[in-house]
Amino acid sequence: MEGKTCPFKIILGSSSIARRNILSEMGYEFTLMSADIDEKGIRKEKPEELVMALAEAKADSIVSKLQSINNQEKDEIPTILIAADTVVVYEGVVREKPANEKEAREFIRGYSGGHCATVGSVIVTNLKTGIRKGEWDRVEIYFHEIPDEIIEKLIEEGAVLHVAGALVIEHPLIMPYVKQVVGTTDSVMGLPKALTEKLIKEVL
């Protein structure tokens, strides 16, 4: 954005620090709002359908919050709402945030010497026109053997307890054990840059 004034405002509908960092890296200024949804109440057979449904629900929740706060029509420039969701898929099973340390440990042990995938969605809504576009993105991640002491350190530190599938490939402790990422790291972290840019353009 090279310091140009942006012709639209952005709301990032997420409390994720990683998503916030990625959107900042893309050069955008934005405000934050989080959605109040019952993620466990939304169930779909396929991971791609699940992440799309969850991001839709987040977007809808924020749109209804905003409608009770103000009326978008008064704004000269459009406001773009970005909502996203990511799940980890391991051996065909969707993994969300681990319930506890024991589950986080089991998750990470499973990745050791194996592989998993992330499926992430992005839904972008132009709040002025109501136009909404969304897509999903899949990334495959292959691991070397992860030593038990590394797994214990990760759990002790706690970041893995708050992310889907206890998966943090950008973490300095785990990076040496990531063999290959087929796709983009920003997608694994929750917001694929290229897809987000494309969807922003489509709704403007």
* Residue whose pair of structure tokens reads 């030593």 in the numeric block: 147
Q: Are 45 and 21 in contact (CB under 8 A)?
A: no
User: CA-CA distance, 87 to 175, in Å (whole number)?
Assistant: 20
> Tell me, what DSSP letter sits at residue 114?
S
**Residue 166 is encoded by which pair of tokens?**
């206890």
- 75 catalytically annotated: no
127 burial class (0-12, 13-18, 19+ CB within 10 angstroms)?
Answer: buried
Annotated catalytic residue, options 38, 60, 75, 85: 85
Phi-psi region of 15 (alpha: psi -120 to 50; beta: other; left: phi over 0): alpha
Active-site annotation, residues: 85
